[in-house]
Structure formats: structure tokens, C-alpha cells
């Protein structure tokens, strides 16, 4: 039997939601992950340190007894965010990053940033105090094709911002294109990227071939195969600028299986099995730990986890539920479309 022991992984991009959904999904993260960067796009969004403190409290209250899991809180950047409040959050240790959602780019982003100039005082402060900016990197203008929105964002928003504020640490989250990978590789410092589980596995065919498959729809939308290959190469290369951010984003099934379905794929529960499969396929099992457990903490300036987990490859496929039941409703689990044999040993 094959097995691999790695430091306990972290998830550098996670949606836990709130209320009954939070209660229904949190155990799937705390089972395998020690820490996660918690996305602030709940309703209402986490805009101030007071909001973040309260949300953190709700997460800790929902955590299964005995699980050790540290939510790393973020603030949702608006055009009215107060630089002093952000600095206070960083100084007290509550805030790990600030999140930029271009207004309208994704789920609950309507309160995001329209005019980046209006956010410059906060961004300047963040550059000064060394607080990273996490970015949903897509433009939102209707004249830009949805498959080009990441590349256009890099050219028209991200690169100009980084030239204007070279000291700002930027995490380009859920990178989905070769353009994004190449851009990150071209930067000497202050730029890194998270990659999701599902973008390592699916390309846009998964969403559109044979019928519309809403459970493969997320944002940024999966791209062509050569982009997926570039993501795979980056993730499995060991390059310290790339690390895991699952972007596990639960929506109840009725909100995905409808005339205008929500974007988001739920992967918390089977991410480590999927990743072991992917890294084994690419002869890179020895670099899984870098991607899932080492590169993220190094980028965020946090210690690596001392605990270990062991993944074992079982002869029979490991079964995951097709959907989980939450108090908010059923949530379909990501189906990688191949049998999973790797299992986290409990």
C-alpha cells in the first residue's frame, strides 16, 4: 500500500458562509485543514474589524468540539474602508489579508470596488504595514469576454497597481489561466497565486459538453485545456509562489440548478484525495506538501503546522457523498469524474 505523510495542510481561500450553511460545512474543512483564509463575501459582507471579530466568533462556535482549526480572517475592501481600522486589525492579529472584489465580479461582490483610486489610501497603508491584498482578478465590463476577464484584469488593473505600489503584497487568488501563471512567475517579489482543486482537474468542457452542468460552474470560469495544464505544472512544480486555495464555495442545489445558477464548487470534503491523485498522476507526490502545507504559510509569514496527516492509497475507490445535507439545504460535492483512491487516514 502506498502512503504519504505531510504536514497538515491549510486552505488559503475558503468560503464558510454563515448560519446553517456554516454549521453544515465547517467540519469538512476542520477535518483535514489546520487553518483557512476565510472569504468575507457573506451577507452582509465582513467590512470592518468589528464585523470580522463577530464572524470569527460565529465560526468558532460552529466548529465541532475537539477540532483544532484556525480561521484567518479577511476584510472585504470597499471604497469607504478606513485605513486605521485595517491597521488595527493587522496589529491585533485578527486580520490576515484584505480582499479586493471588483464590483459585480462574483458572488456577493456588488459592494466591492468600482474605482480602485478610491481604495488607494487603504492599499498604501497595507503596503506600509505589510498586509497582503487578496484579489479576485477579473474585470467586469460587459465588453470583455468572460474567458478573457482574468488576462485583461492583469493587464489593466493588477499590473498598473503593482507598478504604482511595488511594496504591496498581492495574492492572485484562484488563478485559472496560463496568463496568470506566467504573470506570477515573471514577478520577482510581492506576488503569489493560489490555485483551486477543481481548476487542476476540469477545463471548460466539464461545464458545457453534453449539457449544461451547473456543478462545474464557478468563477473565474474554467478555461481551455492548455490553461489547466499550465496550472497543473505550476502547482506540481514546487515553486513557492503557488499554493492551495480550494475556493470551496457552497451554494444549495436549488440555487445552482436553475435558470441563473450561482457560481461556486464545493470541494472541502474531497480536496486532499483529489490533490493526491493529481500529484501522483504528474509524478509529483513529493511536492504535494509544498503546495498544500509549506508555500502558503511561507507567503503569509506564518509558521508551518507541526501536525502531520497521512494519505493512503486504497485498492478500492474511496466514496464521498454525492451531496451533503446542511440546515440550509443540500450541497452537491465536486465530482472529479475519476475514481478517488487516496484517502486521509483518520
Ligand X SMILES: NC(=O)N[C@@H](CC(=O)O)C(=O)O
Choose the catalytic residue: 247, 253, 282, 343: 247
Query: Which does residue 107 bind out of Zn ion, ligand X, none, counting CB within 5 to 8 angstroms by kind?
Result: ligand X
Among 29, 74, 106, 326, binds Zn ion (CB under 5 A): 106
- Residue nearer to ligand X on the CB measure, 33 or 216: 216
Q: Look up 247 and say whether it is catalytic.
A: yes
Contact 343, 270 (CB under 8 A): no
174 is in an annotated binding site: yes
SS3 for 147-182, per residue?
Answer: HHHHHHHHHHHHHHHHHHCCCCCEEECCCCCHHHHH
Annotated ligand binding at 162? The verdict is: no
State yes or no: 13 annotated in a binding site. yes
> Among residues 42 and 311, whose Cβ is nearest to Zn ion?
42
Closest C-alpha among 341, 342, 236, 239 to residue 282: 236
Nearer to Zn ion, 107 or 313 (CB): 107
Distance of alpha carbon 180 from alpha carbon 198, whole angstroms? 16
Q: Which residue has the cell 454563515?
A: 18
Residue 240-269 contact track with Zn ion, rule CB under 5 A, x = bound? -------x----------------------
Partner that binds at residue 7, options Zn ion, ligand X, none, CB closer than 5 to 8 Å by kind = none
218 binds, among Zn ion, ligand X, none (CB under 5 to 8 A by kind): ligand X
CB 162 within 8 A of CB 187: yes
Report the greatest alpha carbon distance in the chain: 57
Pair type for strands 133-135 and 170-172 = parallel
CA distance 57 to 31: 19
Which option in Zn ion, ligand X, none does residue 41 bind, with CB closer than 5 to 8 A by kind?
ligand X
**Annotated binding residues:** 13, 15-17, 41, 99, 136, 174, 219, 247, 251, 263
Active site residues: 247
Amino acid at each position: 500500500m502506498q502512503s504519504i505523510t505531510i504536514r497538515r495542510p491549510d486552505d488559503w481561500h475558503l468560503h464558510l458562509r454563515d448560519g446553517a450553511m456554516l454549521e453544515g460545512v465547517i467540519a469538512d474543512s476542520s477535518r483535514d485543514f489546520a487553518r483557512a483564509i476565510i472569504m468575507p463575501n457573506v451577507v452582509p459582507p465582513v467590512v470592518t474589524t468589528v464585523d470580522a471579530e463577530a464572524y470569527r466568533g460565529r465560526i468558532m462556535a460552529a466548529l465541532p468540539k475537539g477540532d483544532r482549526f484556525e480561521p484567518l480572517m479577511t476584510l472585504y475592501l470597499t471604497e469607504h474602508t478606513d485605513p486605521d481600522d485595517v491597521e488595527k486589525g493587522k496589529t491585533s492579529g485578527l486580520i490576515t489579508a484584505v480582499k479586493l472584489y471588483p464590483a459585480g465580479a462574483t458572488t456577493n461582490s456588488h459592494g466591492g470596488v468600482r474605482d480602485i483610486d478610491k481604495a488607494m489610501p487603504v492599499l498604501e497603508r497595507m503596503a506600509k504595514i505589510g498586509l497582503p491584498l487578496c484579489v479576485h482578478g477579473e474585470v467586469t465590463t460587459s465588453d470583455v469576454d468572460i474567458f478573457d476577464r482574468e488576462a485583461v484584469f492583469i493587464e489593466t488593473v493588477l499590473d498598473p497597481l503593482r507598478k504604482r505600489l511595488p511594496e504591496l503584497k498581492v495574492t492572485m487568488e484562484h488563478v485559472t489561466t496560463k496568463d496568470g501563471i506566467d504573470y506570477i512567475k515573471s514577478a520577482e517579489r510581492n506576488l503569489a497565486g493560489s490555485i483551486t482543486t477543481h481548476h487542476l482537474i476540469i477545463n471548460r468542457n466539464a461545464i458545457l459538453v453534453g449539457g449544461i452542468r451547473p456543478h462545474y460552474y464557478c468563477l473565474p470560469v474554467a478555461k481551455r485545456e492548455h490553461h489547466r495544464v499550465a496550472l497543473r505544472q505550476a502547482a506540481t512544480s514546487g515553486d513557492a509562489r503557488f499554493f492551495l486555495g480550494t475556493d470551496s464555495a457552497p451554494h444549495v442545489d436549488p440555487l445552482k440548478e436553475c435558470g441563473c445558477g450561482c457560481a461556486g464548487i464545493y470541494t472541502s470534503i474531497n480536496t486532499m484525495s483529489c490533490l493526491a491523485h493529481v500529484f501522483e498522476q504528474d509524478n509529483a507526490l513529493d511536492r504535494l506538501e509544498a503546495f498544500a502545507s509549506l508555500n502558503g504559510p511561507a507567503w503569509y509569514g506564518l509558521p508551518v503546522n507541526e501536525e502531520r496527516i497521512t494519505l493512503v492509497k486504497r485498492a478500492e475507490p474511496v466514496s464521498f457523498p454525492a451531496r451533503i445535507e446542511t440546515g440550509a439545504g443540500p450541497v452537491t460535492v465536486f465530482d472529479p469524474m475519476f475514481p478517488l483512491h487516496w484517502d486521509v487516514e483518520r
